[in-house]
Structure 1
Amino acid sequence: MSGQPGPAAPLERVIAAMAAQQGEVGGRLHADLTSHIPSYRAVPRELLDQIWHRHFERALTVVREGTVPAPEDFGEADVARDRVARGVPLGDGLRAFRRALSAIRDLFIAEATERGLDPGLIVDRTTCLWELADVASLQIAAVHRQAEVASALLDARRRTGFLRGLLYGTLSAAEIHSGAAIYGLDPSRPYRAIRALPDGDVGPDAFERPLESRARRSGRGALLTVLDDAVAGVVEAKPETGDLRLTAGLGPPVGLAAVHRSFRTAGRMLEAARAYGLRGVYDLGDLSWRVAVVAEPELAELLLDRYLRPLEAEGEFGALIEESVREYLKRGRHVREVARRAHVHVNTVRYRLRRFEELTGTSLDAPDTAVELSWALAARELGTPR
């Protein structure tokens, strides 16, 4: 008969009563969240109101239709990105969502009971709201983790971009200062560029964080990333590598605006240290003039021809001469010390040194000979000059 209420009318009255209280319940929920979940204090009230409205309307639809949406129908990616950006942990986000659904469920039960809704229907819709909480929680967790991964990748790209510009000298003064503020560098303090390569088959990703951690010890500043198949960045002091299997070059301390010059030096130090088969962190103070031996292969060839290759015609005796000459320079030209370490008579050493002078046509007392011979011996350590 006309005007007679249909079977859905009692349920619709419950839904209308719930809708009328959306703002009031949302206000209590906001106070509850900011009181019990501190990370949510960073989320603006208007954003919380928007997501509360979304959850509330979705829950009313579930109550009306008695079906729960599929996980892919939950559009929570924007919320997840916002929470990740604001530093809200996943656990806090799930707690907040379940508090919201609990408030809606309690409201439904209260209104349905007061209006005499069929008990079977109350149980059915309450069960649906429980399922909604479960399905939505799983989806929220999934998109939150995706947002965390995306945020981490974006941060890594920004970090690498900043360091690339800093190390190659392409940043403006304003970009350097803003990047320094973001990544905890002090523009008023000097930094040293570093470039490191792993020994063996280990990739640079494996020691980026451990090396940065070592560089940060004792409150020292450091910022590193993987750049062009190497670990590169800036440090305040030479890091101790410990058991890290790597070779690194370290540039001189400079202001952040001049780090690109320090980085060029770090590259030369790395090249020289690897050429000599060294492991650890090396700067110009460690390698000194030996860096130039690596950089000047033509000069190295000339000095090898002048000082060491004439000894090759002597066979094994030539190798003994070279070793005695090397020790003679290393021991400050003390013949007796060379003899003691080689377990030979002092006259044997003197004869080898005199034979060296005969074969090369040089004098070991001449200053130029000491410099050039040291260069040739260092080049010998490198093998065939490049």
Structure 2
Amino acid sequence: MTVRAVLDNLAGQPARLDALVDRLVARIRAAVPEYATIPDHVLRRGNRQIVAVAVGHLRDGCLPDAAELHEITEIGVDRARQGISVAAVLAAYRVSGEEFWKVLSAEAHGRGASDAALLSTVEFIWQWLDVVTVAAAAAHREAEPGSYGVALRALLTRPGADTYLWQLGLDPAGRYAAVRGRLAPGITVSTLRERGLVMAVDNREVLGLVSGPDVIEPRFGTFGIGPLVAAADLHTSYLTAGRVLAAAVRLGLTGSHRLDTLRLTYVAATDQQMTHVLSSRILAPLSAKGPYGADIWRSVVSYMDSRMCVAEAAAALHVHPNTLRHRLAQFTALTGVSLRDPADLAEIWWLTVAGRQ
């Protein structure tokens, strides 16, 4: 029996073709771990479609035309959307091609096919695979930028979406911190990727993740970074990163920030209700005094910024130290807030932080 006869049997007997597909699917699952995320019926359907086309081409000794190639490569596009990397897709083609040849050659050789016929067949199989895999890789890469962002967003926002780590080329056993940011003018997300960061654009923000104490330079924009967590818990890190980013933006900060770098500044920048309470207590009495009250508040802020050193604060304001002392005394008289009470000092500090917004 010739190789052509074996191929005729495969094409004409659906049960035999299904058995071959089962074998190829098992080989792919064993050799390419990323495919563990693809449901069995989906993987079988795609592989059956490819094998049926391949058998027809082998029988006729022809390569796929443009329409057939598009139909085949659409399966690769689906894999990109499902979070499978292009490297994994190419590996799946390779191992399934090897398995297909193993089955075909064993049966054809057992039924009398000559070595010359087998050699010609294997050469054509690899030629067919070359054409298909080049097209599949190109189609996958066209779909990849969008799917990359989709995978990253799913990983960061959906609990238990850690299967997307395969597509992003990350270790599922690693620990990661979510990143949310706003890029500086003229900076693109590609600039960050070129520096090894896993980043994608999401509406007006960028989102991403890091695996250590990464510092993103201030010239790139403003970024909030959440705590390091297991991949399955990245959605919690993502929420924290968003709050840190909001605080940093309100404070006019650039660069990367975390809860442990902003500390209480984060709370002061984000708790608007408490800021309103403190403003009513401290700033309202000063506002009632017009420009004089504004001078008093500027003096208090300078005093706090100078680590409560009268001489340094007076120099910064270009006033005599006694003038500053008088203003500080007036501050206490107007507001009832003491510059010696730690609790009152904390409230003043809170308003100096909120005032940066």
- Structure 1-normalised TM-score? 0.57
Q: Deviations over 1:197-233 (max 9, x none)?
A: 2356x7xxx622322333x2xxxxx432233542212
State the AA in 1 paired with 2:290. Answer: G
Establish whether residue 86 from structure 1 lines up as the match of residue 90 from structure 2: yes
Q: CA 1:167 to 1:314, structure 2 compared with 1: closer, same or farther past 3 Å?
A: same
Report if aligned partners of 1:81, 1:144 keep a CA contact under 8 Å in 2: no
What is the distance in 1 between the residues matched to 2:236 and 2:154?
A: 12
One-letter amino acid of the structure 2 residue matched with residue 196 of structure 1: G
Report the equivalent of 2:31. Answer: none
Query: For the Cα contact (< 8 Å) 2:155–2:164, is it kept in 1?
Result: no
Q: Residue 192 of structure 1 aligns to a residue in which SS?
A: strand
Aligned partners of 2:174 and 2:287: how far apart in 1?
Answer: 53
Q: Which residue of 2 aligns with 1:241?
A: 217
Equivalent of residue 190 in structure 1, options 171, 175, 178 = 175
1:303 alignment partner, one of 278, 281, 286 = 278
Which residues in structure 2 correspond to 1:338-353 (within 5 Å)?
Answer: 338-353=313-328
Task: Tell me by how many angstroms 1:192 deviates.
Answer: 1.1
Identity, in percent, stands at: 29
Distance in 2, Cα, partners of 1:197 & 1:55: 55
- Counterpart of 2:192 in 1: which secondary structure? helix
Distance 1:307 1:182, change over 3 A: same
Larger deviation: 46-55 or 285-294? 46-55
- The 1-side partners of 2:234 and 2:75 are apart by 35
Alignment of 1:19-58 (within 5 A): 51=57, 54=60, 56=62
Question: Which residue, out of 350, 353, 356, partners 1:378?
Answer: 353
Pair 1:377–1:77, CA change in 2 (3 A): same
Change (3 A) 1:239 1:49: farther
Secondary structure in 2 aligned to 1:193? strand
CA distance in 2, matches of 1:57, 1:238: 49
**How far apart in 2 are the matches of 1:169 and 1:48?**
39
* Separation of aligned partners in 2, 1:45 and 1:294: 60
Q: Secondary structure at the match of 1:277?
A: coil
Alignment partner, residue 286 of structure 1 = 261
**Aligned-CA RMSD value:** 3.7
Equivalents in 2 of 1:165, 1:297: separation in Å?
A: 31
**Is the alpha carbon distance of 1:212 and 1:336 closer, same or farther for their aligned partners in structure 2, counting shifts above 3 Å?**
same
| Residue matched to 2:79 | none
Distance 1:348 1:242, change over 3 A: closer
Q: Give per-residue Cα distances to partners, 1:11-66, cap 9 Å, x unaligned.
A: xxxxxxxx9xxxxxxxxxxxxxxxxxxxxxxxx999988656656599xxxxxxxx
Aligned partner of 2:341 in structure 1 is 366
Quote how far apart the aligned CAs of 1:307 are: 1.3
Alignment of 1:1-386 (within 5 A): 51=57, 54=60, 56=62, 75-78=68-71, 85-86=89-90, 150-171=139-160, 176=162, 178-199=163-184, 207-214=188-195, 216=196, 222-236=197-211, 237-241=213-217, 243-244=219-220, 246-382=221-357
Offset of 1:338 from its aligned partner? 1.0
Gaps of 5+ in 2: 5-49, 77-85, 92-130
Shift in CA distance, 295/341, structure 1 to aligned 2, threshold 3 Å: closer
Contact in 2 for aligned 1:247/1:281 (Cα 8 Å):
yes
List runs of 5+ in structure 1 lacking aligned partners: 1-18, 20-43, 59-70, 88-139, 217-221
The answer (yes or no) to whether the contact 2:219–2:255 under 8 Å persists in 1 is no
Please tell me whether the aligned partners of residues 193 and 250 of structure 1 are also in contact (alpha carbons under 8 angstroms): yes
- Structure 2 vs 1, CA of residues 272 and 337 (structure 1 numbering), >3 Å: closer, same or farther? same
Residues 302 and 224 (structure 1), Cα distance of their counterparts in 2 relative to 1, 3 Å cut: same
